[in-house]
Structure 1
């Protein structure tokens, strides 16, 4: 802090006065910070203070700004970055309006008592609490990981439902991509057959086989008239070769690492070619259709329902049910509606799972 050049103004010192009888020091007419007071602002606030020619006995802070606000009680100036305030005009050097008065970051006791229950402060604290909760949720949030966790929970619950209810038959997935859902189902089959061993014995269920269908070349060319109207196809999200990932050998090894290798069957090729390879006596207790396109979905549904391959109580998962902006004229929604009408399917709607999925339980005629 520089000393004031005026001979009538005493030297400015920050800190306590030397003796109780010391004369009072002048104050800055902008920030009201009295030199020599313990409650004044830091030294850097009034760097370059000078004597005010307009007001004798007062000084002006070169660092002072109209955006600063005073503490209601101790008159200490507070940075606008530390507290949200309403800006005032640059010409306002007089007493700050009551609506603009806030508490400083080093709040004095009287200021704290005045503003602790003010509506504005209560609203600010409520906003801070909500923001802290949301930020806490987002701390470890990854959209793709969160979606896959929901898929994992949905499919795992499907396996538990099948075993707990004694639904006879195998489990099949149509469309495997990177193998995440196939691995989830295989692991669930291994874990829950032990957890539900007593129930399995009571129902006399035979060991279940996992059937995995995929072209291992990605999606086919979307040339069906219905698929050509899909927003996903028009935007290029679903196109020939999309979702090509694991090979047939890699998928088999992945699932066999957690489930019996002789109970994992893979079918490589287009559905129209691989569906006839299913053994005639095979029935399904759970289906997971992750084949995206209408044409692929209707091929699977038409085959399993016309061939009487659905067991009573079979749960059917549609991974792409809520795609295509949930239009009933496109994708898996249309394929399911046409299948129900064609084959007279009786079912229970069990609601959504994950973000885009939906599930049904099919009942015997």
Structure 2
């Protein structure tokens, strides 16, 4: 079996999905998903690609019609036949093409390849939660899709500043962001150099004691608080050391900073020059959310183009008088925030891009 030279990890797994997923992640340079039953994990292995079929040759002009070229399934650009595998590929019994016809593509599909790797890395990380969080797996996939796209947006647009998360719980989203920062800095290396961006730090804030006591008048009106979903100590999971080790395994250890304690006590520990390109607020309560927003906006810590993710935007039955919706509205009014509404992500989340005044 020939290992895919364009992937950083061999035999990346993908969980049970409809068969069309196998087609979705096919790429012409080296990687193709071997299809199987819906209950069988996919394995991404190197199979190479075949030249254009005679049926398609009539629809393709120029040198592509000779069979030496094929358009990439992701970026629709030509694949170069300059690099040919020297070892026959037997990764899939579905291959109908001689190994001698295999060609490989350049790195034009880097972002798509990196995105596929990120999805599978995070899926592997949450395997231990599958039993207890089985009903939430679909939502989790949507969350790491949204957050990974946020990291791509920041790097692709040259947004200055670091990335921060407020409320880490199981470490799922923190790991997603950390892994995305590691992967996409490779995919967007040229763009990062063009913008002259410095390496980004990952700031992780959590009490590591669960939620604080919901004693604010606004929070006491929350259906989640009244039903006991959000109460003192809820979401106490990882310790600070465990979170640090988890994220350091995905990103540079010296660029992962954790802040243990209540937000009102830990936010002042930020260096005066720290600015943020991306924020992820997963702190549930109105009081916690307004503390974070008031600090970062009053302290001029938001870079132009910063994307702000609210994980609990659509909780509290979407009431504008409760939770993160109220916290954001009050922040916009108090600080005169200029922003673009970028819509929902996942099931309960929402995101905005902040502009310089």
Aligned residue number for residue 176 of structure 2: 184
Aligned residue number for residue 202 of structure 1: 194
1:143 is displaced (CA, Å) by 3.1
Q: Does 1:361 align with 2:353?
A: yes
Q: Does 1:243 align with 2:235?
A: yes
SS in 2 for 1:219: coil
Q: CA RMSD in A?
A: 0.9
Q: Does 1:311 align with 2:324?
A: no
Task: Give the distance between the partners of 1:152 and 1:259, measured in 2 at CA.
Answer: 16
Task: Give the distance between the partners of 1:259 and 1:155, measured in 2 at CA.
Answer: 15
Aligned residue number for residue 339 of structure 1: 331
SS in 1 for 2:217: coil
The alignment covers a number of residue pairs equal to 225
Q: Does 1:217 align with 2:209?
A: yes
Aligned residue number for residue 256 of structure 2: 264
Q: Does 1:328 align with 2:329?
A: no
Task: Give the distance between the partners of 2:295 and 2:201, measured in 1 at CA.
Answer: 19
SS in 2 for 1:315: strand
Task: Give the distance between the partners of 1:209 and 1:249, measured in 2 at CA.
Answer: 18
Task: Give the distance between the partners of 2:328 and 2:338, measured in 1 at CA.
Answer: 12
**What do residues 101-150 of structure 1 show as CA deviations (whole Å, max 9, x unaligned)?**
xxxxxxxxxxxxxxxxxxxxxxxxxxxxxxxxxxxxxxxx9531100000
Task: Give the distance between the partners of 1:159 and 1:238, measured in 2 at CA.
Answer: 29
Structure whose CA Rg is larger: 1
* Structure 2 CA distance for partners of 1:353 and 1:268, relative to 1, 3 Å: same
Report the TM-score when normalising by structure 2: 0.63
Moved over 3 A (4+): none
Equivalent residue runs for 1:226-305 within 5 Å: 226-305=218-297
Structure 1 unaligned residues grouped into runs of 5+: 1-140
SS in 2 for 1:266: strand
Task: Give the distance between the partners of 1:259 and 1:212, measured in 2 at CA.
Answer: 13
Task: Give the distance between the partners of 2:241 and 2:134, measured in 1 at CA.
Answer: 30
1:258 is displaced (CA, Å) by 1.0
Decide which of 124, 146, 155 is 1:154's aligned counterpart: 146
Task: Give the distance between the partners of 2:199 and 2:225, measured in 1 at CA.
Answer: 40
**What do residues 163-182 of structure 1 show as CA deviations (whole Å, max 9, x unaligned)?**
00000000000000000000
**What do residues 186-206 of structure 1 show as CA deviations (whole Å, max 9, x unaligned)?**
000000000000000000000
